[in-house]
Amino acid sequence: MIIINIKETRKKVGLSQVEAEKYIGVPHRTWQDWELGKRTPPDYVERLIIEKLLRYKESKDKK
């Protein structure tokens, strides 16, 4: 099983931190803390964010 986190996914889809924060609707400091490992979102939240970021990439690739 491949482990992928929010930061890796964000980079994979080609979004900056600010773009991802705005797209998902997460405060800047919260996103920073997640990517720096200072805080960890609940597993279900992380899975939903990763899924939404991957869908963003899919919709962008279709254009």
Q: Give me the number of domains the chain comprises.
A: 1
Helix/strand/coil percent split, the chain, to 5: 70, 0, 30
Residue-wise pLDDT tens digits, 13-55: 999 999 999 999 999 999 999 999 999 999 999 999 999 999 9
CATH number of the domain where residue 22 is located: 1.10.260
Q: Contact at 8 Å (CB) between 46 and 5?
A: yes
Domain with 33 in it: 6-62
Residue 21 has which token pair?
Answer: 């924060």
Residue 1 lies in a domain: no
Residue 23 lies in a domain: yes
Residue 42 lies in a domain: yes
DSSP state of 14: T
Give the distance from CA 45 to its chain's centroid: 10
> pTM (2 decimals)?
0.84
Q: How far apart are CA 61 and CA 42, in angstroms?
A: 29
